[in-house]
Chains A and B, each alone.
Chain A
Amino acid sequence: MLYQKVATGSITAAGLSIPVIPSTWTFRDLLGAVGVRFNRNRMNYAVQPGLYAAGKPDKDSPVLVSANYKLSFDTLRKNLTGQNVWITVLDTKGINVWCAAGKGTFGTDELVKQVKDTGLEQIVNHRKLIVPQLGAPGIAAHLVEQQTGFKVVYGPVKAKHIPAFLNKRKLPPDFRKVRFPFFDRLILTALEFTTGLKYVIPVLAFFFLFSGIQNRQFDMANWWRFGIYSVVVLFLGFLSGAVLTPALLPYIPGRAFVFKGFITNIVVLILLNLFSVLQIFNILDLIALGCTGSAIAAFFAMNFTGASTYTSLSGVKKEMRYAVPLEIVLFAAGVILWLVGRLV
């Protein structure tokens, strides 16, 4: 993996040269952050693992632990203005703390390895590591202490709470609870949209191409009369699942994501009908579009379970057991009905 450059200088501690990172973002950092949200360079957006310095840390300065996904690292350092700390960056293969902890790359073994490899024992006098709380699924605090002598202290969930945590200022009472507010959900829809689009476009193209045929006769005028509207209906199905459902998550009834996506699309179709968009279609075409559109909406809503902050594996499996067959049947039924409406 090619690492992104973040250090702007270096300091010497215990005879070692340690890169110093600023707490400010350059325009490049911002572009990179926006880019990965749209899947640009996302799987290759990492910094070199190892030890870093923020400010002018000394032998008594706290040690923070982070992942080597650059967006995680940048979010951390942005919140370190005026702090003097060491940062131990684990090799999580460019994945954020929580996901990497879930798969074990942000884990006990890697933390022990980094502590030993970077010579942290010589660099600081104390024996305390501040690990992000969301790293806990991968880190066994007691084992880290056994193997390195360093005691793991779990810091806050959000990087923005780190200054208050370090300076023992008052933190919100729920700083250990993961939230999933509107803007966090909205940001993640960008990725859902960008990654989903390449699967949806061929489907839209298929419906558009065949819309040219009416009563077994091809006429290009049908593309403009029916094709465009069929694309709009299906695209709204995609938007319902990939954008609307995530953004409006707590306002949509139901618990299963599939269900939320499905009914969001139904509501969108009802609204479309109020604006008389659907009247140009006959009942068969309408059912075809409804089936395929809802299947797309349900699928992308289901896909958002991975981005959400509160779904369990058992729950997702339970939901998928009925949802995946249902989505396949609905999708196929829509495609077949669309063909039947034209060719039979």
Chain B
Amino acid sequence: MFFWQKPNGKNAGTDMFGLRYLKNVTTLKTYPGKCTGCGVCTLVCPQQILKLQDKKILVIDKDGCMECGACQRNCEFDAIRVRAGVGCAAAVIQGALKKTEPACGCSCSGEKASSCCG
């Protein structure tokens, strides 16, 4: 497949070395005992790494987790936990300089950030 072609089908997003980030780093944890099988987490996950098996939460690709926190936020039953945050080096630097949690310092605090989402 040429690089300007849109990946689709089985190899979507995994062309060549693939868009895969570091292994064994995610803080994602599931508690299937609390899971009621509503499935909202499987819908909201932007990496689609969650599935239901026998009406219980199952992580099918743990290293695919980007810790966005969508699953945790939408789980009514506290069956999934992750230390949510933005995977953004600029935010980590900003946080380190201001001694706060990693945060993008964009317009909400009224200051100019050198680089931030928008």
A195 touches B114 (CB 8 A): yes
Q: Which residue in A99, A101, A140, A195 is a CB contact (below 8 Å) of B104?
A: A99
Q: What does the 1/0 interface line of A98-111 toward B look like (CB < 8 Å)?
A: 11011101000000
Q: Which residue in B17, B91, B106, B114 is a CB contact (below 8 Å) of A95?
A: B106
Q: What does the 1/0 interface line of B71-89 toward A look like (CB < 8 Å)?
A: 0011010000001111111
Please name the residue on chain A nearest to B40 by beta carbon. Answer: A141
- Shortest beta-carbon distance from B29 to chain A in Å: 12
Q: What does the 1/0 interface line of B81-118 toward A look like (CB < 8 Å)?
A: 00111111111100000000011101110001111111
Q: Tell me whether A133 and B44 are in contact in the complex, defined as CB-CB below 8 angstroms, given that A42-B118, A313-B87 are known contacts.
A: yes
Q: Which residue in B13, B46, B73 is a CB contact (below 8 Å) of A139?
A: B73
Please name the residue on chain B nearest to A179 by beta carbon. Answer: B13
Q: Tell me whether A181 and B117 are in contact in the complex, defined as CB-CB below 8 angstroms, given that A1-B107, A103-B104, A311-B21 are known contacts.
A: no
B17 touches A303 (CB 8 A): no
CA distance A339 to B106 in the complex (A): 37
A310 touches B21 (CB 8 A): yes
Instruction: Say yes or no for A94: interface residue by CB 8 A criterion.
Output: yes
Q: Which residues from chain A contact B104 at a C-beta distance below 8 Å?
A: 99, 103, 306
Please name the residue on chain B nearest to A319 by beta carbon. Answer: B22
Please name the residue on chain A nearest to B3 by beta carbon. Answer: A182
Instruction: Say yes or no for A318: interface residue by CB 8 A criterion.
Output: yes
- Of the listed stretches A53-61, A117-125, A170-178, name the one at the interface; the rest are far from the partner chain: A170-178
B44 touches A316 (CB 8 A): no
- Shortest beta-carbon distance from B67 to chain A in Å: 4
Instruction: Say yes or no for B18: interface residue by CB 8 A criterion.
Output: yes
CA distance A44 to B113 in the complex (A): 12
Q: Tell me whether A316 and B92 are in contact in the complex, defined as CB-CB below 8 angstroms, given that A103-B108, A141-B40 are known contacts.
A: yes
- Of the listed stretches A18-26, A200-208, A252-260, name the one at the interface; the rest are far from the partner chain: A252-260
Instruction: Say yes or no for B60: interface residue by CB 8 A criterion.
Output: no
Please name the residue on chain B nearest to A45 by beta carbon. Answer: B118
CA distance A263 to B103 in the complex (A): 29
Instruction: Say yes or no for A84: interface residue by CB 8 A criterion.
Output: no
Q: Which residues from chain B contact A318 at a C-beta distance below 8 Å?
A: 22, 25
Q: Which residues from chain B contact A133 at a C-beta distance below 8 Å?
A: 43-44, 46, 70
CA distance A281 to B28 in the complex (A): 50
B25 touches A312 (CB 8 A): yes
B89 touches A142 (CB 8 A): no
B118 touches A251 (CB 8 A): no
List residues of A (172-192) whose CB comes within 8 Å of B's CBs. Answer: 172, 174, 176-183, 191-192
Interface size on A, residues (CB 8 A): 72
CA distance A136 to B42 in the complex (A): 12
Interface centre among B69, B85, B115 (most CB of A within 10 A): B115
Q: Which residues from chain A contact B88 at a C-beta distance below 8 Å?
A: 305-306, 311, 313, 316
CA distance A180 to B43 in the complex (A): 19
Instruction: Say yes or no for A228: interface residue by CB 8 A criterion.
Output: no
- Shortest beta-carbon distance from B86 to chain A in Å: 5
Instruction: Say yes or no for A286: interface residue by CB 8 A criterion.
Output: no
Please name the residue on chain A nearest to B64 by beta carbon. Answer: A310
Instruction: Say yes or no for A147: interface residue by CB 8 A criterion.
Output: no
Q: Tell me whether A177 and B108 are in contact in the complex, defined as CB-CB below 8 angstroms, given that A141-B40, A313-B83 are known contacts.
A: no
- Shortest beta-carbon distance from B114 to chain A in Å: 6
Instruction: Say yes or no for A294: interface residue by CB 8 A criterion.
Output: no
A255 touches B7 (CB 8 A): no
Q: Which residue in A43, A134, A195 is a CB contact (below 8 Å) of B106?
A: A43
B103 touches A103 (CB 8 A): yes
B117 touches A250 (CB 8 A): no
Which 3 interchain pairs have the tightest Cβ spacing? Answer: A306-B88, A313-B85, A311-B87
Q: A101-B68, A174-B48, A250-B16 are in contact. List 9 more A-B contacts (CB 8 A).
A: A36-B118, A95-B118, A136-B74, A181-B6, A199-B114, A305-B89, A310-B19, A312-B66, A313-B83
Contact sample, A vs B, 28 pairs, CB 8 Å cutoff: A45-B118, A93-B107, A93-B108, A95-B118, A102-B69, A136-B73, A137-B68, A137-B70, A140-B74, A154-B44, A174-B8, A174-B12, A179-B6, A192-B115, A196-B115, A249-B19, A250-B13, A250-B15, A252-B17, A255-B20, A305-B87, A311-B21, A313-B85, A313-B86, A313-B102, A315-B22, A317-B92, A318-B22
